[in-house]
């Protein structure tokens, strides 16, 4: 481990040397090495008491056991440690308020410096939300963006999978230590991300467990790394809205996919749109909005970016009655009584057709309400 990284690690263990103080001192010193080695005469006199205290703590070496444990755990899972002073640290993240002083990373470090789109949303996504997350991620990854998300259940996981399906790159920002994947159900997904050239990243020390306060903190990194944040589905109290708020504070673009007014998981998106988020219907909408930020960088504007929805081969295999019922359903929730009143099918026929369309993932049923998904 180089000296700069060593001093950065030690700094996290010193008493009262908070991340805020570290950033303030680094504005003056430019490196952790300078904090501990440069002559005090090179600093304003007001800095001397703090620097003397830090150097005294360093000499006492009470940090040694913690730092050696972190180094060993990072080495065991082949993780890199990246201080904010490193050229490997992403510039987009360095510029935000409250940028983490240290990052732990597994996988491809180059992804941090490529154009990224964050895709976030509800953990309790609908089938339509799952399909949108996966499909939009595929389109954007195919267009040349790295897809950044939080490795959580729901939209996050679907977004990571969509990028991998497209043969693209994805970054998972963790709310735990780099060696403590959460949720455990995504352990296989995390390894697949690394195997396919993606990246796992976190600000938390190895072995750090998932705590409620870590997730909002993690969200500022998701938005900070990205050019913009796409919210696929979100309830009014979704953590995705925290990510969107961070994005606004960081001067990033916010995009939202609208949904049914009857879907609670769409209300967060609708609120964002009311507050000024970009309503998007196809991936190309995002590319066009980010054109200035991309600064002429050439992306793959494949036909998929232009489509509003994927043209499913399933639709081509539907019989006349299935197509007719799908058309009658529209995209608003319907109950059985209202469908019976249409008079096109008997109760028995409706029941059979609705089950068939559910099996084909074209319709979703919740508490007697039927919703067309695509």
Please report the pLDDT score of residue 258 as a whole number.
Answer: 94
> Which helix or strand (DSSP H or E) is residue 246 part of?
helix 240-249
Q: Which residues contact 364 (CB under 8 A, 6 or more apart)?
A: 126, 127, 128, 358, 370, 371, 373
3-state secondary structure of 275: coil
Please report the pLDDT score of residue 291 as a whole number.
Answer: 83
Separation between Cα atoms, residue 206 and residue 103, nearest integer Å: 11
The mean predicted confidence, pLDDT, of the chain is: 91
Instruction: Return the closest-CA partner of residue 246 out of 231, 274, 224, 267.
Output: 224
At the top level of CATH, the class of 109-306 is alpha beta
Separation between Cα atoms, residue 142 and residue 166, nearest integer Å: 6
Going from N- to C-terminal start, the domains of the chain cover: 1-75, 109-306, 313-372
pLDDT tens figures, 14-64: 998 999 999 989 998 999 999 999 999 999 999 999 999 999 999 999 999
* Cα dihedral: 250, 242, 127, 371 (round 10): -110
**Chain centroid to CA 280:** 18
| Cβ 102 vs Cβ 9: under 8 Å | yes
Q: Would you say residue 111 has pLDDT above 90? A: yes
> Which helix or strand (DSSP H or E) is residue 216 part of?
helix 214-225
Instruction: Return the closest-CA partner of residue 91 out of 118, 115, 120.
Output: 115
Query: What are residue 104's DSSP bridge partners?
Result: 81, 202
Average pLDDT over residues 278-294: 88
Q: Would you say residue 374 has pLDDT above 80? A: no
pLDDT tens figures, 197-253: 999 999 999 999 999 999 999 999 999 999 999 999 999 999 999 999 999 999 999
Average pLDDT over residues 276-280: 97
Q: Would you say residue 126 has pLDDT above 90? A: no
Please report the pLDDT score of residue 309 as a whole number.
Answer: 46
The single residue listed with the structure tokens 């899972």 is: 77
Q: Exposed e or buried b for every residue in 317-333, given b needs 16+ CB within 10 A?
A: ebeeebeebbeebeeeb
> In the numeric block, which tokens belong to residue 16?
């009262």
Q: How many CB atoms lie within 10 A of CB 252?
A: 22
DSSP 175: S
Q: Would you say residue 89 has pLDDT above 90? A: yes
pTM of the model: 0.84
313-372, what's its fold?
Answer: Arc Repressor Mutant, subunit A (1.10.10)
Q: Which residues contact 270 (CB under 8 A, 6 or more apart)?
A: 256, 258, 259, 261
Residue 307 pLDDT class (50, 70, 90 cuts): low
3-state secondary structure of 331: coil
Edge-to-edge strands, sheet with 253-256:
80-83, 102-107, 199-202, 170-173, 146-149, 116-120, 228-231, 253-256, 278-279
More confident residue, 332 or 18: 18
């Amino acid at each position: 481990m180089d000296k700069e990284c060593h001093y950065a690690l030690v700094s996290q263990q010193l008493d009262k040397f908070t991340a805020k103080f570290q950033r303030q001192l680094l504005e003056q010193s430019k490196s952790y090495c300078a904090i501990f080695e440069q002559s005090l005469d090179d600093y304003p006199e007001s800095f001397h008491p703090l620097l003397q205290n830090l150097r005294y703590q360093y000499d006492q070496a009470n940090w040694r056991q913690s730092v050696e444990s972190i180094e060993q755990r990072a080495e065991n899972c082949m993780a890199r440690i990246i201080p904010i002073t490193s050229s490997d640290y992403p510039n987009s993240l360095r510029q935000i308020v409250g940028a983490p002083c240290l990052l732990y990373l597994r996988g491809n470090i180059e992804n941090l410096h490529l154009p990224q789109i964050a895709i976030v949303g509800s953990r309790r996504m609908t089938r339509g939300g799952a399909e949108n997350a996966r499909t939009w991620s595929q389109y954007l990854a195919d267009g040349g963006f790295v897809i950044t998300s939080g490795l959580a259940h729901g939209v996050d996981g679907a977004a990571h999978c969509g990028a991998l399906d497209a043969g693209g790159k994805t970054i998972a920002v963790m709310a735990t230590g780099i060696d403590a994947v959460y949720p455990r159900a995504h352990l296989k997904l995390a390894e697949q991300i690394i195997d396919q050239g993606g990246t796992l990243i976190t600000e938390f020390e190895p072995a750090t467990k998932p705590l409620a306060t870590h997730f909002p903190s993690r969200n500022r990194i998701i938005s900070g790394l990205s050019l913009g944040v796409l919210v696929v589905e979100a309830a009014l109290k979704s953590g995705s809205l925290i990510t969107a708020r961070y994005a606004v504070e960081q001067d990033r673009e916010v995009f939202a996919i609208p949904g049914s007014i009857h879907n609670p998981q769409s209300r967060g998106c609708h609120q964002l749109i009311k507050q000024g988020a970009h309503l998007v219907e196809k991936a190309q909408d995002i590319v066009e909005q980010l054109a200035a930020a991309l600064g002429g960088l050439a992306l793959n504007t494949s036909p998929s970016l232009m489509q509003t929805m994927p043209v499913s081969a399933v639709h081509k295999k539907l019989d006349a009655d299935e197509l007719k019922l799908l058309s009658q359903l529209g995209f608003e929730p319907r109950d059985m009584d209202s469908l019976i009143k249409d008079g096109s099918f008997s109760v028995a026929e409706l029941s059979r057709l609705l089950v068939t369309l559910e099996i084909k993932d074209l319709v979703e049923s919740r508490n007697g309400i039927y919703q067309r998904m695509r």
